[in-house]
């Protein structure tokens, strides 16, 4: 396997374990153990870790070890502050690129999900899908790269708090409103609704972290 492929494989495996909290925030991870888990040599592991450090998922401390970055209140604040700037801008600038048929199909799925008291996994998928569609409409590679990193951090925060479903029905309702506004080509109102949606998500994360004493 080519060196680049090994590095990418190591990066994806380690990143997924960090985001899903298999490697818990604030804990030490062992490079030798990573070599065994990824079935790789040390060089691709180190290159992958360097990339993850740039994304603020690990902290490499020479002669001390590799630490999974912790998640504190300020991290939630910082992540959502940037999202509140970028996502509304993408809506204003590029949401017109989202196919209307795709939006209408998404809207129908959301409305059905609200009527169904079960199927929480479906609601979780829908909760993420609108953000993915909006990001896919953006043609600015730098904004896309930043947003993907922020989405990864948001996913980790949600998993870490252990209460991913607490706001789902409200989140889906907010997504319905945003989707309808985009379908109506009212991008400014859609952007304002996105800001409200992100602020609610931020407050939910704050409440959960405070409840866990973090």
Checking if the pLDDT of 63 tops 90, the result is no
Look at the block and give the residue holding tokens 């993420």.
Answer: 128
Which pLDDT does position 162 carry in this prediction? 62
Checking if the pLDDT of 14 tops 60, the result is yes
Low-confidence winner among 62-71, 116-125, 147-156, 176-185 (lowest mean pLDDT): 116-125
Tens of pLDDT along 133-189?
999 999 999 999 999 999 999 989 888 876 555 678 889 999 999 999 999 999 999
Residues written for the chain: 214
What is the Cα–Cα distance from 144 to 19, expressed in whole angstroms? 19
Give the contacts of 206 (CB within 8 A, at least 6 positions apart): 73, 76
Does domain 3-68 match CATH 1.10.10.10? yes
Burial 179-211 (b: 16+ CB within 10 A, else e): bbbbbeeebeebbbbbbebbeebbebbeebbee
- The ranges assigned to domains in the chain are 3-68, 73-211
What is the Cα–Cα distance from 139 to 147, expressed in whole angstroms? 12
Tens of pLDDT along 92-106?
999 999 999 999 999
Class of the CATH-defined domain 73-211: mainly alpha
The pTM (predicted TM-score) of the whole model is 0.85
Instruction: Kindly list the distances between the CA atom of residue 8 and the CA atoms of 46, 54, 176, in Å, as whole numbers in the listed order.
Output: 11, 15, 36
Query: Quick check: helix, strand or coil at residue 59?
Result: strand
- In which band, very low, low, confident or very high, does the pLDDT at 211 lie, cut at 50, 70 and 90? confident
Query: Quick check: helix, strand or coil at residue 81?
Result: helix
Which pLDDT does position 39 carry in this prediction? 86
Checking if the pLDDT of 118 tops 70, the result is no
Checking if the pLDDT of 3 tops 70, the result is no
Checking if the pLDDT of 210 tops 70, the result is yes
Query: Quick check: helix, strand or coil at residue 20?
Result: coil
The DSSP element (H or E) to which 46 belongs, if any, is helix 42-54
């Amino acid at each position: 396997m080519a060196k680049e492929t090994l590095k990418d494989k190591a990066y994806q495996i380690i990143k997924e374990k960090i985001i899903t909290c298999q490697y818990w925030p604030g804990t030490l991870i062992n490079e030798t153990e990573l070599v065994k888990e990824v079935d790789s040599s040390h060089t691709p592991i180190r290159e992958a870790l360097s990339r993850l450090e740039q994304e603020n998922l690990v902290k490499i401390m020479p002669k001390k070890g590799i630490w999974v970055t912790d998640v504190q209140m300020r991290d939630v604040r910082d992540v959502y502050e940037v999202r509140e700037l970028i996502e509304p801008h993408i809506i204003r600038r590029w949401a017109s690129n989202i196919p209307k048929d795709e939006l209408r199909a998404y809207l129908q799925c959301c409305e059905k999900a609200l009527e169904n008291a079960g199927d929480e996994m479906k609601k979780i998928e829908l909760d993420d899908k609108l953000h993915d569609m909006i990001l896919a409409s953006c043609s600015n590679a730098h904004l896309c790269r930043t947003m993907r990193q922020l989405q990864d951090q948001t996913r980790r925060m949600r998993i870490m708090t252990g209460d991913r479903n607490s706001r789902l029905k409200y989140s889906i309702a907010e997504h319905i409103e945003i989707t309808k506004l985009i379908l109506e080509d009212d991008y400014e109102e859609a952007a304002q609704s996105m800001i409200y949606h992100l602020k609610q998500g931020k407050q939910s994360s704050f409440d959960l972290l405070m409840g866990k004493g973090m």
